[in-house]
Amino acid sequence: MPVSDHTLSAHPVAAPVQDPATGRPAGTAQAVVLLLSSCLSVLGAVLLAPVLPAIQNAFAGTPGVATLTPVVLTVPALVIGLTAPLAGRIIDRLGRKRLLVGALLVYAFVGTAPLWLPSLELIVASRVLVGLTEAAIMTCCTTLLADYFHGAQRQRYFGLQVVYTTVAATAFFALGGLLGANGWRTPFWLYAVSLPLAFLAARHIWQPPAQPRAKLPALPWRTLLVPVGVSLVGGLVFYVLIVELSYVLDRIGVTSTATIGAVSAIGSLATAIAAALYARVARFGPAITVPAAFVLCGLGILGLALAGTVPVAAVSAVVAGLGNGLMLPALLTWALGSLTFEQRGRGTGIWTSAVFIGQFACPLAVLALAGAFGGLSAALLAVGAVALLVALTVRFLRIT
C-alpha cells in the first residue's frame, strides 16, 4: 500500500482522555512526571562517561577490562533497543501505570547496585538490568503522553520530551564529572532519583480508561513498517552529532576541552530550541517535518565533514542540532498517528527499539564507513548523503 502525503499528514484531534476516578483530563502534573521520568534513559547514557577511565583503572586486573568498561556505558541503550517491543506488548496487555511505577522502583535498586558490587562483570550485569527498566520506563512514558494528549498538545509534549532529555543529558554529564571527583562509585547514587519519581507517578499517573484485553488487535504493519524503518536510520543520524563532534574538532586541531564543551553545548542548545518549537511546525504534518529534520541533519553532518575551522564546525553543529530537535518528535508523531489505544504500547515499543538500535549502531557504522572510505570526513559525507536521500524519499516518493 503506497504511503502518500495524506498518510503522513497530521491526524484528526481526538477527544481528551479523562481520569476515570475524577473525570478530569490529564494536565501539567501528569505531563511533568512523564517528561522527568523520560530523562532517566539519558542518565544511563551519559552519567558515567567522565568516570570510565577510573572504572577501568579500578578493575585493571579483570580480563578484557578494556572491552568491558565501555560496555558499562553503552549496554543499557542496546538492551532498550532489544527489549522495548516486549515492554510495549506488556503495556498493551496489562496496562501502563503498574509497569511504570514498578520499573521506576526497580531502576533505583539496579541503578545504585554498583555502589557495592565487587566485580566489573557484576556491574555490567546490573547495567543490563538498568536497560530493561529503561525500556519499560521510556515506552510507558511515551505511550502515556500519546494516550493523555492529542492534537497540538501532543505535538508540544513530544517536542518537550526531547527538550527535557537534551537538557538532562547536559546536566547529567556535568554531575557525573562533579560526583566522580569523590570516587568512581559516587555517581551511581544519582540513580536513586527514580524513587521520588515512582512516588509521583503512583500519585499523579492514572491508567487510561480502557480494559486490558486477552487478545490484542493486530498492528497495522503495512503503515507502521515505513516510519519504523525511517526511525532506525533517524536514530543513527541523530546520534552522529553527539558521538562524532569531539572527533571532528580534534581533527581540526582543537585541544581545549573548554572549546569542545562550548561547541557541544551550542549544538545541544539548538536541539532543545528546535524541539521546543516543534509544536508550531507540527501542523504541517510528518510529510514536511520528517524530511525537514533529515535535510537539516544531513546538511549539518556534511558541514562537519568539510569543516576546517571551529566557526564552521560550530555552525554545522547548530544546523545538525536543529535537525535533531525536529527528528524524534516528527518520527514519533508519524509512527503513532494511525494507532489505536490497544496498539499504541506495542507501536511505541517498536519505535523506541528502532531509535535506540540506530543510536547504538551509530559509532559502529561511522567507524566501518571510515575504514571503507578512508577516514572520518569521508564517513560523515556518506552519512550526510544518506540523510538527504532519506529526506527526498520520504517527501517525494510513493513508498510501498
The CATH number, out of the four listed (1.20.1250.20, 3.40.50.300, 3.40.640.10, 1.20.1560.10), of the domain defined by the range 220-400? 1.20.1250.20
- Banded model confidence at residue 5, pLDDT cuts 50, 70, 90: very low
The yes/no answer on whether domain 26-210 falls in CATH 1.20.1250.20 is yes
> What letters, b where the CB count within 10 A reaches 16 and e where it falls short, cover 335-374?
bbbebebbbbbbbbbbbbbbbbbbbbbbbebbeebbeeee
User: Across the strands, what pairs with 25?
Assistant: 18
Domain spans in the chain, listed from the N-terminal domain onward: 26-210, 220-400
Write out the E strands in 138-278. none
Percent of residues, the chain, with pLDDT higher than 90: 38
Write out the E strands in 250-351. none
Bigger pLDDT: 158 vs 102: 102
Amino acid at 173: F
Which tens digit of pLDDT belongs to each residue from 59-101? 988 888 877 887 787 788 889 889 988 888 888 887 889 999 9
Which has the minimum average pLDDT: 8-22, 36-50, 189-203?
Answer: 8-22
Grid cell listed for 251 = 581533527
Which tens digit of pLDDT belongs to each residue from 125-147? 999 999 999 999 989 998 899 88
Let me know if the fold of 26-210 is the same as that of 220-400: yes
Rounded to two decimals, the pTM is 0.77
